[in-house]
Amino acid sequence: MTLPDRFDRIRSTPLRLTIILTLIFAVAALGCFTTAYGVVRANLNAAILSDLRQTVATFRQEGEPDELLERLTEAVRVTDPSYRILHYLPDSGPVISNAGDIAPISGTVTLAGDSLGPTDGALAESYLALSARVGAGQLIVGQSRRAIIEMSEIFAAVVLMGLLPAMLIAGLAGLWIARRAQDRIGAIQDALGAMTGGDSTARVRGIAAGNDDLSGIGQAVNAMATAQEALIVTLRQVSTDIAHDLRTPIQRVSVLLDRMARGADLPPAQKTLLLQAQDETTRIGRTFQALLQLAQVEGGAARDRLVPVDLVGVARDVVEFLDVDAETQGLSLTAALPASATVTGDRQLLSQVMVNLIQNAMLHGAEGQTVHLAIATCGPVVTLTVSDHGPGIPADERAKVLRRLYRLDRSRTTPGNGLGLAMVKAVCDLHRARLTLEDNAPGLSVRIAFPPVSADVGTTAQRPHLAQ
């Protein structure tokens, strides 16, 4: 994987910004150091060269060749070769030098100390040397580059001991700040995810105090969620009010239709219509009844009435009750139950949850031929699972089927009112149980994980978990 690919995989904006800022800081600091180093080095070089030119000029002033040789011999004798080298190669006669052999050079060059000699190791590591014609010969003067080398070492030490730790500290501090920002972004993402999953009570936690942009976004999300929750409550109230107001007239219509059916001797065609009208009013009555019951459960009044219940006992009764229906439909209803599994709950509501789920599996997942009910205990957690091998529910529909009156398109012609799973979710919230809809590959598997019995049955609604 190349570096840009790896960078692409970093999804966190604060982390990206930290890396970018640290890199910019490193490049800028290195750029400044390099420029400063270049300027100081050029100045040192210029100073040495001017010194060397000055020396050459001094020797050139000697008019007489003998005097020149004499001065050179004296200068070579008193000059320390570790600081400065002098090397005179006359057109004829012996070499005058304090630096052993030097191959002919022209102009300005850098000479390595060990390329000269032998002078008993008294030479410097390197010299800046200048070759010039003086009198009847070629003069090479050189000066040790020790000062330049020391300056380079100081710059390297500054980079190692100053810049690198500074970068490390900046990088670590950046990571810490990025981590904190990421935590808050994570909290906003979690809250939005929970809201998308149907939990209207979800809020971004821990952002109230801040006055920065992230806190602002978190507060805006919370304000939006509060408004949305109020809207949902209003909508629920409206549907409950409608159900409440229309229940009595519908019951009256039902009684009137009953009377009509019993009283008059109707022709067969009208009798059929009357029966259909009776069926429809019964259906409307049931839907209203279910809506009112749902509102009651969501209202949370039953929360104070929750007691220890053996879920296995409830399951046995439900299986016995639905076994005949399953057989009539040619389905097999199987159950895997432990000896007992106690949860804190409402027996009647838990029984209704199991009936709703098994009836859904028999009705919507009927092609699978088997419906399986299982209760398992894992430590203090009791899990109830109802699974079938039917068509299942597509992942993107799993949150929606928990809403009131929502049915998949393919279920429009089957009997039902789309309130069964809404009721299951409301009962789960009431029990603080975790509801999960999963792919049973093929089919649907609905799992409810109850909280440990000792846990207080509080007021927070649990959001359903929707497996992809």
Ligand X SMILES: Nc1ncnc2c1ncn2[C@@H]1O[C@H](COP(=O)(O)OP(=O)(O)O)[C@@H](O)[C@H]1O
User: Angle, nearest 10°, between helix axes 420-430 and 268-299?
Assistant: 20
Only segment of 51-59, 174-182, 415-423, 456-464 that touches Mg ion (CB under 5 A): 415-423
Q: How far is the CB of 297 from ligand X (least distance, A)?
A: 14
Q: Which is nearer to ligand X, 135 or 390 (CB)?
A: 390
Only segment of 10-18, 128-136, 411-419, 443-451 that touches Mg ion (CB under 5 A): 411-419
Query: What is the footprint of Mg ion within residues 347-406 (CB under 5 A)?
Result: 360
Residue 214 interacts with ligand X (CB under 6 A): yes or no: no
Q: Residue 136 and residue 143: Cα distance in Å, rounded?
A: 23
Q: Which is nearer to ligand X, 154 or 405 (CB)?
A: 405
Q: How far is the CB of 388 from ligand X (least distance, A)?
A: 5
| Strand order across the 84-90 sheet | 96-97, 84-90, 137-144, 126-134, 107-112
Residue 420 interacts with Mg ion (CB under 5 A): yes or no: yes
DSSP element (H, E) containing 98: none
Residue 444 interacts with ligand X (CB under 6 A): yes or no: yes
Q: Residue 202 and residue 378: Cα distance in Å, rounded?
A: 28
- The single residue listed with the structure tokens 């409402």 is 346
Residue 287 interacts with ligand X (CB under 6 A): yes or no: no
DSSP 438-468: EE-SSSEEEEEEEPPTTS---SPPPPPEE--
User: By C-alpha distance, which of 125, 113, 121, 140 is closest to 56?
Assistant: 140
Residue 202 interacting partner from ligand X, Mg ion, none (CB closer than 5 to 8 Å by kind): none
Site mask for ligand X (CB under 6 A), range 394-433, x = bound: -------x-----xx--x----xxxxxxx-----------
What's the number of CA atoms in the CB half-sphere (13 Å) around residue 313?
A: 9
Query: What is the footprint of ligand X within residues 326-385 (CB under 6 A)?
Result: 356, 360-361, 364-365
Q: How far are the Cα atoms of 159, 164, 165, 261, 351 from residue 155, in angstroms, in the given order? A: 6, 13, 15, 106, 80
Q: How far is the CB of 404 from Mg ion (least distance, A)?
A: 12
Cα dihedral 394→396→402→407 (10° resolution): -60
Q: How far is the CB of 295 from Mg ion (least distance, A)?
A: 18
As given in the structure block, the two tokens for residue 112 are 């390595």
- The single residue listed with the structure tokens 């976004």 is 217
Q: How far is the CB of 411 from Mg ion (least distance, A)?
A: 9
From 393, 426, 461, 466, residue interacting with ligand X (rule: CB under 6 A)? 393
Q: Residue 406 and residue 397: Cα distance in Å, rounded?
A: 10
Q: How far is the CB of 361 from Mg ion (least distance, A)?
A: 9
Q: How far is the CB of 420 from Mg ion (least distance, A)?
A: 3
Residue 439 interacts with ligand X (CB under 6 A): yes or no: no
Residue 390 interacting partner from ligand X, Mg ion, none (CB closer than 5 to 8 Å by kind): ligand X
Using CB under 5 A, list all residues that contact Mg ion: 360, 416, 420
Using CB under 6 A, list all residues that contact ligand X: 356, 360-361, 364-365, 388, 390-393, 401, 407-408, 411, 416-422, 444
